[in-house]
Structure 1
């Protein structure tokens, strides 16, 4: 792939220079001796040719500029690998549902891959079922939530965090994973490549449905706002995002009597205490996926959020490393 802006920087200047040269020089001068009528006809043809050339170039430039807008979502959808399972059927299990910001492949790393290091394996299982490229919508429609739901038992916990892949278009441009924005009951119908029609629900609908079915299995549910992207202003201050989405997650948690962890804000508050270079060192890409150091930072932020929940239901299962985090 070309570096960001590389293609445009290589194509636009020559086109711009050509347009300028046409403006400055005008039509080419005739070299043959002609009568006045011939000169008028020739000059007219040359003017038309120049106009056509300019229009063709502008049309080409317009097409080039539109290409990125028409291009599909390039974020990958990871294929299934071995799925984690509970080590003991007699212990409660903490299930994790989410996207690649919770579980991915090296050199990237998600916080769900480090969360278990803060719990006592003799007291609780930690099972990370997050997978890259999933939104609340396709995690649900692919049956991944159903697998967790079927495995839930009374006394289990489930942490749910989606959003990064919900933001895209609902159709093929977003790889059929975008959800209807908001938390309402509105739906939109999308036709799949095989001709089937999917009724797409809102982001909030999928979160509520997961929370509702988990509670029906007597499990405790924790909904998390999405982890923030890496973004700084000119003064080097960290810029928060997900403002609207954080509110949506909180509303869903209240509606379904689930716990809410504002992970986006907890992490951002932590970033505020660090310099820009340190925070940038937490990321393995432009600004979404963390590396091993960043995932550990985020996992600690999750523990901070879990311990702040009224009654702190997961506190009894923390190991010594987890107990020192506030």
Structure 2
């Protein structure tokens, strides 16, 4: 906490806008230190921004869904720090397909962008809970962000290292589709990160992707090279957005076409 005396102006750092990242382990794996040789793309995103002018905070947490990031209290800890002029990027979905109620995680959401809900007695928390759709939770994040005078940016989930007939793992018929719908419905920006990365994977080929971006035992989390590809893809998608103020904080190198740092 920074305490500012009545006779002093807030320091320059406190006035910088902040880019908050929220999501699951594909954004921040473990403690964000390459746990098990695996990295989330959020670790490599700050290199694209002029951090003398903007702060990047990776608040993603492994194992969470759009639902449990809220119910675990993680979102409240981020929300309290959001101020007008800030930005929040969210990428959830990998864990939303888990069971709605079980004794392992109880983290699933209803598979849609609708307003359906399900009443449960949570087997883990032992509390009654109303569970909503994936899109509903994204819309709640967006509403909270906009109420703070900040900008919400929704990303479709990164593809897993699973292939069929040489085609990458796309989610344009489920979580990517619902993420886009929630963003459009709520007036947020949307980056189809899954498409950007999948297009690149297919151009480079299954063999190269498996050999260079993932290890042999984990089909969801990337090694460092893969996380760097994903971070570059986020920036590619960001630069394709029209009139988003976040782009003015990119470094000169990041603004160049095809920039990969």
TM-score when scaled to structure 2? 0.87
Q: CA deviation at 1:173?
A: 5.2
State the partner residue of 1:307.
239
Query: Are 1:93 and 2:23 matched, yes or no?
Result: no
Query: Are 1:224 and 2:152 matched, yes or no?
Result: no
**CA 1:238/1:251 → structure 2, altered by over 3 Å: closer, same or farther?**
closer
Indicate conservation of the 8 Å contact 1:118/1:319, yes or no: yes
Could you tell me which of 102, 116, 127 is aligned with 2:27?
Answer: 102
Q: CA deviation at 1:324?
A: 2.1
Could you tell me which of 27, 36, 49 is aligned with 1:119?
Answer: 49
Could you tell me which of 116, 128, 139 is aligned with 1:197?
Answer: 128
Could you tell me which of 248, 251, 254 is aligned with 1:319?
Answer: 251
State the partner residue of 1:273.
203
Q: Secondary structure at the match of 2:174?
A: helix
Query: Are 1:210 and 2:135 matched, yes or no?
Result: no
- Which structure is higher in RCO with an 8 Å CA cutoff and minimum separation 6? 2
Per-residue deviation, residues 86-145 of structure 1 (Å, max 9, x unmatched) = x93210000000000000142110001110111011010000000100000000111211
Indicate conservation of the 8 Å contact 1:229/1:241, yes or no: no
Per-residue deviation, residues 174-216 of structure 1 (Å, max 9, x unmatched) = 5110011111111112212453211111111110000001001
State the partner residue of 2:8.
none
Distance 1:204 1:174 in 2: 23
Query: Are 1:254 and 2:184 matched, yes or no?
Result: yes
Q: Secondary structure at the match of 1:136?
A: coil
Residue segments in structure 2 that go unaligned for 5+ positions in a row: 1-11
Indicate conservation of the 8 Å contact 1:300/1:325, yes or no: no
Pick the structure with greater CA Rg.
Answer: 1
Q: CA deviation at 1:239?
A: 4.4
Distance 2:174 2:104 in 1: 20
Q: Secondary structure at the match of 1:103?
A: coil
Count residues with an aligned counterpart. 239
Q: CA deviation at 1:300?
A: 0.2
Query: Are 1:165 and 2:90 matched, yes or no?
Result: no
**Structure 1 or 2: more helix by fraction:** 1
Distance 1:182 1:113 in 2: 30
**CA 1:97/1:188 → structure 2, altered by over 3 Å: closer, same or farther?**
same
Distance 1:191 1:137 in 2: 15
Q: CA deviation at 1:325?
A: 4.3
Indicate conservation of the 8 Å contact 2:29/2:38, yes or no: yes
TM-score when scaled to structure 1? 0.70
Indicate conservation of the 8 Å contact 1:191/1:197, yes or no: yes
Indicate conservation of the 8 Å contact 1:108/1:290, yes or no: yes
Q: Secondary structure at the match of 2:145?
A: helix
Indicate conservation of the 8 Å contact 1:303/1:325, yes or no: no
Residue segments in structure 1 that go unaligned for 5+ positions in a row: 1-86
Distance 1:174 1:204 in 2: 23
**CA 1:325/1:138 → structure 2, altered by over 3 Å: closer, same or farther?**
farther
Distance 1:166 1:325 in 2: 34
